[in-house]
Amino acid sequence: MGWAHPAVAMEEVLFLVRGFVDVLVLAGGRTSSGAAATWSADEVKKALRWALFFEGLAIFKDLHDSGQYEDSARELDAALLELTSSAEFPKGLAAVRSEMLSMARVLVMRHFLKAKTMSVENLGALLEAVVEMDIDGICASGAHNACHEYAESILNMMNLSCFAQTMNARDGGLPTSSGEPRAESTGHSRIIVKEFQKTLDSSSCACLAERGLKTLLNSVERNSLDDGSNKPCTPAVPK
């Protein structure tokens, strides 16, 4: 039967995939010329927003959560196989398929955290972007003092002593407790902690987490988060 999704043509999806692949290449630490790529926090946010855009496309949910579009999913994956088999396509991304694109933020963060390409500068930019995006999400929900509580939750998640306790966490992220504020708004942070657990050995974790936490806490302090419980928190990124 072939492609039958009514909302978008497959050619449009493939065009978007090519743009997203460029983002993943840069996130992996190299420019198209092969030179080392250095990211700022703002550039990391752009990459994560690209990923959020992909995750937000109803098409990927439709293709895999509904039996209605099984033929379309197979058609798209066949087209992606042809695309990724090209000699010009980045070899490290040859496994990109429609189901993977539904977890685009995980893909982006995994590429940022590649051991061979990660630099302290890029790690700092990644952590700063993640915490600011999550804090902005909490503030947008109308929270009063959740920003301070969020900073504490980041410390707990990034604390090396917590890694062993959370190794059996479900794929959706770390276990949550009833006292943890706005858990749904800390999705970026949960993804990155989960990836830390899987990609870094203990010695690398100790070094990078220490430096990363300093960057994160400096970011929180710069944004002058309010201690009062009766005032809304200040967005991490001024509008």
The string of pLDDT tens digits covering residues 101-138 is: 888 888 888 888 875 667 788 888 888 898 888 888 87
Mean pLDDT of 13-41: 82
Give the other-Cβ count within 10 Å of 197's Cβ. Answer: 16
Confidence at residue 123, expressed as pLDDT on a 0 to 100 scale: 85
Q: What whole-number distance in Å separates Cα of residue 10 and Cα of residue 4?
A: 9
Instruction: Answer with the one of 58, 92, 110 that is the final residue of a domain.
Output: 110
Give burial (CB, 10 Å; 0-12/13-18/19+) of 186: buried
134 and 216 co-located in one domain: yes
Mean pLDDT of 2-17: 80
The pTM of the full predicted model, rounded to 2 decimals, is: 0.67
Give the other-Cβ count within 10 Å of 167's Cβ. Answer: 10
188 and 213 co-located in one domain: yes
174 and 87 co-located in one domain: no
86 and 168 co-located in one domain: no
The total of structural domains in the chain comes to: 2
Confidence at residue 42, expressed as pLDDT on a 0 to 100 scale: 93
Give the 3-state secondary structure of residue 221: helix
Confidence at residue 174, expressed as pLDDT on a 0 to 100 scale: 39
DSSP 8-state assignment for residue 68: G
